[in-house]
Amino acid sequence: MIQDKLRELEQSSSKLNSNLTERSHLQQAAIEYANRFYESQPEEKAYREFNESVKNLLNEPIDEEAGEVEVILRELENGVVRPGLNTVSGRHFGYIPGGGLASSAIGDFLAAVTNRYAGVYASSPGAVVVETRLINWMSDLVGYGEGSGGYLSSGGSHANLTALVTARDSAELKAADYSKAVIYLTQQTHHCVDRALNIAGMKESKRRYIPMDDRFRMIPSELVRSIEQDRNDGLIPWVVVASAGSTDTGAIDPLDKIGGIARENGLWYHVDAAYGGFFILTDDGKEKLKGIEKSDSVVMDPHKGLFLPYGTGALIVKDVKKLAEAHRFSANYMKDADVKSGIYSPAEISPELSKHFRGLRMWLPLKLHGVKRFRDALEEKQLLARYLWEKMKTVDDIEVGPEPQLSIFMFRWNPESGESNVLNRELHKSLLKEGRFFLSTTEVDGRFFFRVAILSVRTHQREVDELLSTIQEKIKVIKPNDGSA
């Protein structure tokens, strides 16, 4: 009876392991859809409005029996991919995009096919060595020396959390110290830092928001004053977080001066370079990021500056031993993984144990295209931002924010008549409704601003020129004639 049942189950379950014909059919259908998707991007919308009908997917059955690949891919295309934000579009100027390189997607495909477990060296030494090589390359970029290390994360939020946990343990802070521990940052610091403190159990720690200059950069003298005051008040100055390309304005804090202050006062110095870090590949970016080498830890997102798909971040720590100490563990079932390789396994220096081969999506594009292609693309995005900023400066009724330090800047429609915040929201609504371009928004001192974030691998001068002309056309339509909003 058992053998009969096993034969029956084997006959059914073996269908999960597709044969060559079945794999070829599935792969061909997927490739055709992928190519159709890529080829459609020059004319595809950057944003598609959606309504509650998108939730119909909640009622779609998960069937007992097999489905047809063409039907399933159509459902994917129309119900999943199309609604909302198209992050691979060259007309995506909103949130800092993940570029979605085809070569990176192939890397993901091969990583999933081969299914290497990249958590420990003993299981897949090649995968761990590849990821270590990528970390060492990034460590060299930021100017860290021997003894540094890190890991590839899912993104900046995960990496910032790990950095702060490492800083906490390095300072030997105990729970009783948390209410006295002080972190120094600005209002432009990414919100994930505040959330990381909460997740790390440090909700009670003191946040000191250091004043900024007119370009939204931390003022070093104010940092010094705040540290001295806190120390005199019996608090524990602990960590300073600088931004190397803030999300809202693209601001780069004075990294060199802040590094000196942190060192003089014994603070852990962390730089959030999730957006701006890879601009260090360019001559201009390298000059603007001077001082990043003084940091104790830095976050960089390859899914931003290297145009990879979402889910690729990195934390690099100057002293990798401190990272390992903050993530130490002991488990009997992991004894076989204890290999004296001289290389830290990702499981030893990160929160992850179950870890797919994330590095292949980064390694393959770098090997295929070469670093120069990425450097040229980053330099192009910097120049495009400056080009658009300068053109917008000459347009009547458009107010621009500070000159872009990298590839982000702000602007707003500021007509002589009408309530500007109301009119800008109307302009934004019109852009979303049409969907050809996508811009995100923010508020600074109660004033509505558009953010221009140029970091899509598919954004070139044509898309930038079209964006400006579209904005001007829409302003003409919306502009009040009677002085009212």
CATH of the domain at 474: 3.90.1150.10
Our count of domains for the chain comes to 2
332, 353, 369 - which closes a domain: 369
**Runs of H (alpha helix) within 171-253:** 191-199, 220-232
369, 391, 426 - which closes a domain: 369
Whether 110 contacts 357, CB under 8 Å: no
Q: Taking each helix axis from N to C terminus, what angle separates 125-142 and 360-369, rounded to the nearest 10 degrees?
A: 70
CA angle 465, 469, 473 (to 5 degrees): 170
For the full predicted model, state whether its pTM sits above 0.85.
Answer: yes
| Residue 45 domain-assigned (yes or no) | no
First to last CA, the chain: 80
Whole-angstrom Cα distance, residue 283 to residue 246? 20
| Residue 56 domain-assigned (yes or no) | no
| Residue 283 domain-assigned (yes or no) | yes
- The pLDDT of residue 481 is 66
| Residue 140 domain-assigned (yes or no) | yes
Phi, psi of 215 (to 5 degrees): -110, 20
Domain that holds residue 244: 109-369
Closest by CA position to 239, among listed 294, 318, 184: 184
390 and 330 in a common domain: no
The b/e string for 376-394 (b: 16+ C-beta within 10 A; e otherwise) is: ebbbbbbebbbbbbeebee
265 and 141 in a common domain: yes
369, 394, 423 - which closes a domain: 369
Three-class DSSP category at 237? strand
Tell me the β-bridge partners of 212: 218
412 and 297 in a common domain: no
407 and 331 in a common domain: no
CATH code at position 239: 3.40.640.10
Whether 294 contacts 260, CB under 8 Å: yes
Q: What is the pLDDT along the chain (485 residues), one digit of tens a residue?
A: 899 999 999 999 998 899 999 999 999 999 999 999 999 999 899 999 988 888 888 888 888 888 899 999 999 999 999 999 899 999 999 888 777 899 999 999 999 999 999 999 999 999 999 999 999 999 999 999 899 999 999 988 999 999 999 999 999 999 999 999 999 999 999 999 999 999 999 999 999 999 999 999 999 999 999 999 999 999 999 999 999 999 888 999 999 999 999 999 999 999 999 999 999 999 999 999 999 999 999 999 999 999 999 999 999 999 999 999 999 875 444 444 444 556 899 999 999 888 899 999 999 999 999 999 999 999 999 999 999 999 999 999 999 999 999 999 999 999 888 789 999 999 999 999 999 999 999 998 889 999 999 999 999 999 999 999 999 999 999 987 654 44
376 and 354 in a common domain: no
Condensed to tens digits (0 to 9), the pLDDT of residues 306-326 reads 999 999 999 999 999 999 999
Closest by CA position to 170, among listed 273, 270, 299, 271: 270
212 and 189 in a common domain: yes
| Residue 419 domain-assigned (yes or no) | yes
| Residue 59 domain-assigned (yes or no) | no
Q: What is the number of other CB atoms lying within 10 angstroms of the CB of residue 176? A: 7
The b/e string for 72-90 (b: 16+ C-beta within 10 A; e otherwise) is: ebeeeeeeeeebebbbbbb
Q: What is the largest CA-CA distance in the chain?
A: 87
| Residue 44 domain-assigned (yes or no) | no
| Residue 32 domain-assigned (yes or no) | no
383 and 365 in a common domain: no
